[in-house]
Amino acid sequence: MKKIRLVVASLVLALFTLAIQSNLSYANAKEPSEPIIEIIKPEDPEEFIKEMGWEKPTPNAKLDHIVRIRPSDNGAAHNQQKIDEDLTAKALGYSIKVTRQSSSCGVQPKARVSGTGNIDGNLVLSQTVEVSNSFSSNTSVSAEVVTASVGFDVTEKKSKTAQYTVNTNGKNYQIVAYDDFDRFEFDVYLFGAKTGTGVASKQVGFCYAAYQI
């Protein structure tokens, strides 16, 4: 009788332990983060287009709105990688100090679609394009050193899908996708002496401009 009770107790303990482990695994699982979405309605669309350096799809096109879509965890990944890799640059005698961080939309279109949309009036842009990070400097600092200091691969290229939908209400629209960049302006030091400046750009998403044409 005692043996039966011990077996039952062992089974109950095993099931209880399994339940705890399952709950812990569920609790530790990361939910996919929601993207950051910013909607822009310029007061002066024509001036906004000039400031961005964009070209209108047609001479009479009217910019209706802009939507920026980017991941919400982009900054955290940058900071962690910077901590891990910053020693590489210092070992080579270089020290790069980020002086300003900002974000901006690119100038060259990456994807576009035109029309009045489907039967529901929805015009859908969905195109896979190649995007890339980049850097420039007025010094001879290498891409490896900049990568180690800013915390992301400044030479990385990859494919992303530009995807956005506009309800046209039966009117003729064009959706244009531009790169969305995080920009890091920096000073370059070699063995403590400042030798120049530069800027590194990380492609983090897309800016979608909706034009009525």
pLDDT 10s digits, 115-135: 999 988 999 999 999 999 999
Structural domain contains residue 207? yes
pLDDT tens track for 149-187: 899 999 999 999 999 999 999 999 999 999 999 999 999
Tell me the residue type at 14: A
Whether residue 184 is contained in a domain is answered as: yes
Taking the chain, what is the end-to-end CA distance rounded to the nearest angstrom?
86
With respect to residue 45, please indicate whether it lies within any of the assigned structural domains: yes
What CATH number does residue 87 fall under? 2.170.15.20
Residue 21 located in a structural domain: no
CA separation for the pair 131, 203 (Å, rounded) = 7
- Predicted confidence band at 28 (pLDDT cuts at 50, 70, 90)? very low
Q: What's the domain range around 69? A: 35-212
Say if 3 falls within a structural domain.
no
Number of domains in the chain: 1
**Helical H runs in the chain?**
2-28, 45-52, 74-91, 143-150
- Based on its alpha-carbon atoms, the radius of gyration of the chain, rounded to whole angstroms, reads 25
Name the DSSP letter for residue 30.
P
- From the list 64, 65, 67, 72, the residue with the least C-alpha distance to 163 is 67
99 found inside a domain? yes
